[in-house]
Amino acid sequence: MKADLPDFPWDSLADAGARARAHPDGVVNLSIGTPVDPVPDVIQEALTGAAWIPGYPTTHGTPALREAAAGALARRHGVLVAPEAVLPTIGSKELVAWLPTLLGVGAGDLVVIPPLAYPTYEVGARLVGADILRTDSTVAAGPARPALVWVNSPSNPTGRVLPPEHLRKVVEGARSCGAVVASDECYLALDWSESPVSILHPTVSGGSHEGLLAVHSLSKTSCLAGYRAGFVTGDPTLVTQLLAIRKHAGMMVPHPVQTAMTAALSDDAHVAEQKARYAARRAILRPALEGAGFKIDYSDAGLYLWATRDEDAWTTVDWLATRGILVAPGTFYGPSGDKHVRVALTATDERIETAAQRLAA
């Protein structure tokens, strides 16, 4: 039976993309969050050093990888997890899309997602025929009891940071009705004016990871989008459940990629360098947008600027496309994004400077 899936959002950008690419000086593509900077040498060397390994990788990941992930969470985010509770994933998107299936969520169950959210949260719920509720409320309203609650801080697309007390109420409410809380923490290391915290931090979790899963990606901080490198961690019982199904389904990260991930998670210097690159681009692009009449909402952390001219989002997309700048309309992330656009910081320094010059003109 065919799943009731929405059209792939970025396909609808074809016309605007053509107009932007027609600019005499080329397009500045700020519509997607794909890295443009080289993979750090320490990671490349680890990948090539493991290229000779002929055997199947383990679904659970090597002990070295799991220990490196646990160590990185402790150093970078003050989160303590057992290495056994770490499970590598083929990037974070596949885990997001298949998590309802892996957890046994089904038709008639309720999945709660933020009002403005990464589209794959909705896709994962639709794949199993679950009902969807978009809400920022810490407790889902109405008689329905959610099976899965997604949170995302810093938010994609808005860059909003949820304070610990808000996340704590989400955890308490979910535990009271037996729901799993899945926290998409792909942008956790990219803090600007506010500092986000993990759902697994003791100020949020109360010292217990029961019912909690944190999803992490190395795409943004380590430029590993092309490697498909992520992991999930949290409640050991839930991780064991995910592992058992993923073994049967062959959802395993290639061994060279696991070795590269181990190197990335063991080295903090390249993360700091990449963050500094994004900060410098943000410092150029934000005032350029504001100077061109945009208002920037939230955008306190993460990889995007949530910008508005108080008009229909597609009108703004077209206005920027005529200047050779391609962005994503806020409607990709939910109906309430109809007057915003998401502007990514993922372009080279030269292209960011070019965008700022075009906005000034």
**pTM, to two decimals:** 0.94
Pair of tokens at residue 307: 């910008």
pLDDT in tens, the chain (361 residues): 456 777 787 788 899 999 999 999 999 999 999 999 999 999 999 999 999 999 999 999 999 999 999 999 999 999 999 999 999 999 999 999 999 999 999 999 999 999 999 999 999 999 999 999 999 876 655 567 899 999 999 999 999 999 999 999 999 999 999 999 999 999 999 999 999 999 999 999 999 999 999 999 999 999 999 999 999 999 999 999 999 999 999 999 999 999 999 999 999 999 999 999 999 999 999 999 999 999 999 999 999 999 999 999 999 999 999 999 999 999 999 999 999 999 999 999 999 999 999 999 9
Tell me which residue of 183, 179, 210 sits closest to 198, measured CA to CA.
Answer: 183
| Residue tagged 């009271």 (tokens) | 176
- Asked if 233 contacts 213 with a C-beta cutoff of 8 angstroms, the reply is yes
DSSP state of 12: G
Quick one: how far is CA 284 from the chain centroid? 23
Domains in the chain: boundaries: 9-38+270-360, 55-267
Report domain 55-267's class: alpha beta
Measured over the CA atoms of residue 147, residue 153, residue 159 and residue 161, the dihedral's sign is positive
- The pLDDT assigned to 142 comes to 58
- The CATH number of 9-38+270-360 is 3.90.1150.10
Pair of tokens at residue 55: 């055997």
The whole-angstrom separation of Cα 131 and Cα 4 is 12
